[in-house]
A and B are shown apart, each in its own frame.
Chain A
């Protein structure tokens, strides 16, 4: 099976936070949501998802709790925190700034 593109480097944290800012989700659901919302352009490697989730927990940008999924399975649900919202805002602003700058170079050079 051909490998699909992963997530661009440095953006995974931002994407996860954005997804979680809508509603709390568990790990698999987060990966699914990103995949779906990007019209199947981006697939999150599990190998990068879980370390990223741990990093979010470490930095206090998300919190985790036990929950039941819609299929009745016991899962761990992640919820964005206020610090996480602030981090999301700052990363989004940074991302916009960078892309705008790159676009400028690509268009005008």
Chain B
């Protein structure tokens, strides 16, 4: 109790210090006044301090004094302070941002209740040999290991309220599914138990986005009936759904896919399960139990069936990301190390310069502890400022770059990318890094202290102090390390830049400027054979090209997608080649600006019932008929028909087309083009080249489509150039890496310059004597170059080794460039050496051109 009282009294003293100290001083003064012999009172200041120290806050005073002295010292060297703080801030920001990304995707769990217990049930091996009968798995017998099991199956709902039909992503879910993902209704209610029973009324919940976009945030949404029809195996079914609720915006756990827009209760049994295990149940145990039950109800097990395997849902979300994230973490860590090395070099230089100041302090009575405390306070101030600035920078960077990052990984980060989003892991990691940095840097200014006595420094002549050989070695090592690290990063970014340039320069073979597209899907119930398809497309092409006054292109594929390779056989028996096969109309080549090299393009005569024709790409023509003209030859293109489907016809080649790439990395240039009228498809993309904006012709086109058949679905439309997403992500990564490299090179050069400039200043007398004895300016410069040259060479050698490592890591990210591309390596080495030499030459030159007389006089 008295202990508590004592502490409270201490705190009370701290809070009232000024007043209480004044009272003490006054008291001592009046005591002195009352004494017959005031001299005996003693040293008043010392007495006051001793009295004050009783309260135990002396250390606080000492520290605040040290901090103030340190701050003043740093203020007197603004160049050093600014460079050090900015470098530390940037280094920390880079590391923290990388940590934030890694944390957001890999470490933080998915934003669902108990998401670390969510597993997907995989029948090993997945695929066509899965055991059957899994729909009858009795989960109630597994209730000690499994809390609940959820099933879902996707369904496409075609809403046909007004104008065109539109597809909506639908999902039928079991009762457990809503619970497992914690899907809460923002408006209305969830599903009731009876709605899961077959025969009950069809109800649905819609997503927040759909409510906002399609239904205009209608407040009376609950209870609305929506007409939709779904495609099922037995044919299209038209249903009327009653909306009972609107879902809150929810994070979707499948990569590359967006969440459902319509959610409806699942009434049938399906075999795709997601389970939530009970707390404390080990995964192996659960797998064993589920396998047991599966064996009892299932049939048709593949031989050597290893049983059921549970894969964490989180892992499935981040497949493939680990190597990429590791690839980013390493350069970031390297950058931080280089930054620290640079700051260490700067601190060493500064410490040597201050030896005289230290000597004076020691002479005035500062103990060793005191000096150590002061120097540590300086380092802590620097690191603290760097940490604060770094955190602010990180927050800024993450907020600006979050959309790019998410686009690069093609999946949003669970829970967002903010660094200070009350995430204890992140703050701990950053705080730990900052602390580690501060601790390691704090030793730097103390190193010279162990080398010599401070008093010696006062006796030394000349400005400042001199370095000992071991300090010089340390400096050289740090500089060499910086050079090595920046060379490695430079090579990495060089490779990526070259790869990007290659990609940009890739000639896709078609023009996408000012071309718009729309993707159509025709319903299966009417369009079961070619004639009705032609009956739709022909008038469509007529009407749209008439109103747009431009030819229309049709193709049976989605823009910027690589076609599936299908086997091709020639009339002279050559087989075994594969090519991409697609059906296009005549307008395709004109609209997209694809040149016809030989022969002709499709004509109106190439219609259904006429002789089947085809066009081939140049490369394929060379492959199939290397020595002859392909015109007039025949080929068979496509997979062999299954079951009782009609055989594919032999087609006559009537023209050769130039090579076209569908994506920047499409290396297979063999393509066969069929006439769209002879091979129409329910899935088609319409292309139109026009000077006007895409939005001007699209409504007219939609109108024409709706007139011809209102059930035809128009998904996805827009400018073709906007679909070119491949380059965005890679450009982002390249710019980041180049930024890192440029920054580290700058730091390394700054280090070299700083050390050389300082050495030159230290050895002024030596230089002056040499000049007086007849050395030329060039000799002096060469002398310095030789010294720094050794360090530079060591750095470049180490850097080459590091560069090979970095190149291997980037192997999968670069195209069109070999990882160990000699010209990139040579160019970066030359750049590093040249700039390093320049950074040495500049300060050395300045010293060497001054007159020796002047220099000797100054000393």
Contact = CB atoms under 8 A, between A and B. Distances in A.
Nearest to A27: B31
Contact of B47 (A28, A47, A75, A76): A47
B763 interface: no
B2 interface: yes
Contact of A59 (B2, B42, B53): B2
B35 interface: yes
Interface in B8-30: 9-10, 13, 23-24, 26-28, 30
B305 interface: no
A58 B41 contact: no
Interface in A33-77: 45-47, 50-51, 53-55, 57-60, 69, 71, 73-76
B10 A76 contact: no
A98 interface: no
Q: Number of contact residues on B: which range applies?
A: 20 to 34
Interface string B40-56: 11100011001111110
A22 to B, nearest CB: 20
A24 B10 CA distance: 23
B31 A28 contact: yes
Contacts of B40: 46
B34 to A, nearest CB: 5
A55 B9 CA distance: 11
B6 A60 contact: yes
A71 B30 CA distance: 11
A54 B51 contact: yes
A50 B24 contact: yes
A60 to B, nearest CB: 5
B5 interface: yes
Nearest to B55: A58
B377 to A, nearest CB: 28
Nearest to B28: A50
Contacts of B54: 51, 54-55, 58
A45 B50 contact: no
Contact of A47 (B6, B27, B30, B50): B50
A50 B51 CA distance: 6
B284 interface: no
**Secondary structure of the B contact surface, majority rule:** helix
B10 A58 contact: yes
Contacts of B41: 46
B716 interface: no
**Residue in B6, B26, B47, B55 with the greatest tally of chain A CB atoms within 10 Å:** B47
Nearest to A47: B42
A45 B10 contact: no
A46 B35 CA distance: 11
Interface string B508-523: 0000000000000000
Contacts of B35: 28
B33 interface: yes
A28 B30 CA distance: 9
Contacts of B9: 57-58, 60
**Residue in B2, B10, B27, B53 with the greatest tally of chain A CB atoms within 10 Å:** B27
A34 B275 CA distance: 84
A28 B34 contact: yes
Contacts of B24: 50, 54
B34 A59 contact: no
A60 B5 contact: yes
Contacts of A69: 34
A107 B303 CA distance: 102
B654 to A, nearest CB: 106
A51 B55 CA distance: 10
Given A51-B54, A58-B10, A60-B5, A46 B31 contact: yes
B833 to A, nearest CB: 67
A58 B9 CA distance: 6
A60 B2 CA distance: 8
Contacts of A83: 2
A47 B43 CA distance: 8
A89 B836 CA distance: 79
Nearest to A59: B6
A58 B50 CA distance: 14
Contacts of A51: 47, 50-51, 53-54
B30 A74 contact: yes
Contacts of A54: 24, 51-52, 54-55
Contacts of B55: 54, 58
B51 A76 contact: no
A81 to B, nearest CB: 11
A58 B14 CA distance: 12
B184 to A, nearest CB: 57
A28 B34 CA distance: 7
B33 A73 contact: yes
B713 to A, nearest CB: 84
B47 A50 contact: yes
B47 A73 contact: no
B34 A45 contact: no
Nearest to A29: B34
Contacts of A71: 34
A50 B5 CA distance: 21
Contacts of A28: 30-31, 34-35
Contact of B42 (A45, A73, A74): A45
A53 B53 CA distance: 12
A58 B31 CA distance: 21
Contact of B27 (A27, A55, A58, A59): A27
A82 B462 CA distance: 67
**Residue in B5, B34, B40, B46 with the greatest tally of chain A CB atoms within 10 Å:** B34
B31 to A, nearest CB: 5
A28 B28 CA distance: 9
Contacts of A59: 2, 6
A73 B32 CA distance: 12
Interface in A67-106: 69, 71, 73-76, 83
A71 B33 CA distance: 12
**Residue in B28, B31, B52 with the greatest tally of chain A CB atoms within 10 Å:** B31
A26 B33 CA distance: 13
Contact of A76 (B2, B27, B42): B27
B36 to A, nearest CB: 11
A51 B49 CA distance: 9
Closest 8 A-B residue pairs measured CB to CB?
A: A54-B54, A28-B34, A47-B42, A54-B51, A28-B31, A76-B27, A50-B51, A51-B50
10 contacts: A26-B27, A28-B34, A46-B28, A50-B28, A54-B54, A58-B54, A69-B34, A73-B33, A76-B23, A83-B2
Interface of A: 26-28, 45-47, 50-51, 53-55, 57-60, 69, 71, 73-76, 83
Interface of B: 2, 5-6, 9-10, 13, 23-24, 26-28, 30-31, 33-35, 40-42, 46-47, 50-55
Given A27-B31, A46-B47, 10 more contacts: A28-B30, A50-B24, A58-B6, A58-B13, A60-B2, A60-B5, A60-B9, A73-B30, A75-B27, A76-B27
